[in-house]
Amino acid sequence: MFSRSANLQAVVGDFRIDDMMRYSLFVPRLYNLCKSLGFEAGHIMPSRAFCSDENQGYPIILITKHFGTFPFNHGRVGGIVATDRHGPHAHHGKDLVIIQASHVGYDPDTRTFGTYRRIQTADDEYTVTCGKIGAVIEWYQGEYRFAQENIHLSREGDDCLVTIDNQLLNEGRKEGLFLNLDRMVKCSDGNPVPVQIHSTSRSYHACSSFTKALPAQAWPDNERLNIGRHLGPELFSFRRLIEGDIEGRSHLEQNLINPMPWILTSAEPMLVAAQVNTQAEFDRTFRTIARQKEYQNKKILFISCINIDISPREGQLFPLTKCIPWATHIQDGAGGSRTLEQDEIIGLLNEQSTENPDQIDLEEAIQEMEKVKEIRIEF
């Protein structure tokens, strides 16, 4: 897919994206896995914690088909889990399944992540997907571009200089991109000392580690070049005034802000953001499941994934959605529980049959309801 730096790998860990499966294979395998764990056919209540986008509808249809019931809704926009719905979910089934997924579009023509073709628009427009993730990272991308364009590198004789716009040096700002200056310029007693003060910027001697980290052509003689792509994730962080509401409108942003430098500097920011959010939501949610009294003595399978939305081709109504499982938490209903890492859960799923004798025929079920004698509602 794309190479990931050691720094990025430190953020997303061992989250592999090359082992995925079609949803038409994932859902029956998941159902059969539940059956192998002792879940009772006809008494399993699935729940989905998906984004509200219409392209998440196809997975929901498949969940309905294989589990025999429309799934409970555990999701908020962006793939955030509404943990305050645990209690109601527990009352709706004997055995319980929760599927959480962040999602990201994929364009097979350009082989890039982050867009999806909306066939219901007038001109089949390609838009950012997931739109919520795209909206969150847009402000950070603007701050990053400003820094890339307003930090300059140059060489005067034997000295490598870093010239930085005053706005980026203002530590009194409440929000914005903040540089890790000690990794870029020479300091005295921990403080950077300018060698030249300009009207809107200051110049500093580059520290030796920063000089050596960049190629020689990054330091031109007697001219300044934008730092551009050389502004790596270890050189900056962000501050943002974010409302502290858990599972509210800013929850997704809170999941992404700390790893944001690695998200922005990756080859596929939308994909990495989806990975980070999926990891954060799994870690947070499985802890709330363990504490939920209504879930005690219940069989539960909670799985977190990324949904890859491939735009429908000519003649197709739905996306070719693929699933990348990340991790799974299982409760056996007798006080035991375990967590399966990515390799373990993918291995278990691949062992399951893709044939599901319990699946329902949705068209037949709908037709059957149309034939049922009408029940008059009386007041």
Residue 149 has pLDDT above 90, yes or no: yes
Return the H-helix or E-strand segment holding 270: helix 269-291
Q: Retrieve residue 47's tokens.
A: 């729940």
Q: What single-letter DSSP state applies at residue 333?
A: S
pLDDT tens track for 26-83: 999 999 999 999 999 999 999 999 998 888 999 999 999 999 999 999 999 899 999 9
Report how far residue 238's alpha carbon sits from residue 137's, in angstroms, rounded to the nearest whole number.
12
Pick 315 or 54 by higher pLDDT.
54
Banded pLDDT at 1 (limits 50, 70, 90): very low
- Does 202 have pLDDT greater than 90? yes
Please state the rounded mean pLDDT for residues 340-350: 96
How many contiguous H segments (helices) and E segments (strands) does the chain have?
12, 21
- Rounded average pLDDT over 277-302: 95
Q: What is the mean pLDDT of residues 251-263?
A: 94
Rounded mean pLDDT of 308-314?
87
**Structure confidence at residue 140 (pLDDT):** 97
Cβ atoms of residues 295 and 315 within 8 Å: no
Check pLDDT > 80 for residue 229.
yes
Predicted confidence band of residue 9 (pLDDT cuts 50, 70, 90)? low
Question: Is the pLDDT reported for residue 160 higher than 90?
Answer: yes
Could you tell me which residue, 312 or 236, shows the higher pLDDT? Answer: 236
Average pLDDT of span 118-123: 82
Per-residue pLDDT averaged across 80-98, rounded? 96
pLDDT at 2: 31
**pLDDT bracket for residue 364 (50, 70, 90):** confident
Q: What is the pLDDT of residue 365?
A: 86
Res. 3: pLDDT tops 50: no
Please write down the long-range contacts of 197-201, taking CB distance under 8 Å and 24 or more positions apart. 198/163, 200/165, 200/166, 201/150, 201/152, 201/163, 201/164, 201/165, 201/166
Q: pTM for the whole thing?
A: 0.90
The per-residue b/e assignment along 280-315, b for 16 or more CB within 10 angstroms, e otherwise, is: bbbebbbeebeebeebeebbbbbbbbbbbbbbbeee
Instruction: Name which residue leads in pLDDT, 261 or 4.
Output: 261
pLDDT exceeds 70 at position 89 = yes
Among 12-26, 113-127, 240-254, top mean pLDDT goes to: 12-26
Is residue 8 scored above 80 in pLDDT?
Answer: no
Mean pLDDT rounded to a whole number for the chain: 92
In the block, residue with structure tokens 């159902």: 31
